[in-house]
Amino acid sequence: MQATWRLPNGQSITATVHPGQTLMEAAVAHNVPNVIGECGGSLSCATCHVVVDPAWATRAGPPSAFEDDMLDVTDADRQPTSRLSCQIKMTAALDGILLHIPG
């Protein structure tokens, strides 16, 4: 399965993501800029903020209530489809997902 991260400069990074792996773990493993995952995925830092492409938003699902609160403290402005990538696990339904990295 694959995910693509579109960087603020328009370049993209596409990488293989294993089922059950979080998109934050995959981004860090593939050196995606600005996805840090400082807390290791414990939902306490918001350094893995991504904007799910609107075409994928329904499949990725909405943030949980706690994730929603954490999105209010991201460095980049929150967007309607913002998510913390540590909270999105790869599934077959997300194969090919497009994520935008905030500037």
Query: Quick one: CA torsion of 17, 19, 20, 22, rounded to 10 degrees?
Result: 10
Q: Which two tokens stand for residue 59?
A: 């499949």
Domain containing 29: what range?
2-100
Whether the predicted model's global pTM rises above the 0.85 cut: yes
**pLDDT score, position 83:** 97
Q: Work out how many domains the chain is built from and give that number.
A: 1
- How crowded is residue 39: how many other Cβ atoms within 10 Å of its Cβ? 16
The 10s digit of each residue's pLDDT in 74-98 is 888 999 999 999 999 999 999 999 9
Query: What is the spatial distance between Cα 49 and Cα 97, in angstroms, rounded to a whole number?
Result: 15
pLDDT above 90: residue 41: no
CATH number at residue 13: 3.10.20.30
Confidence of residue 44 (pLDDT cuts 50, 70, 90): confident
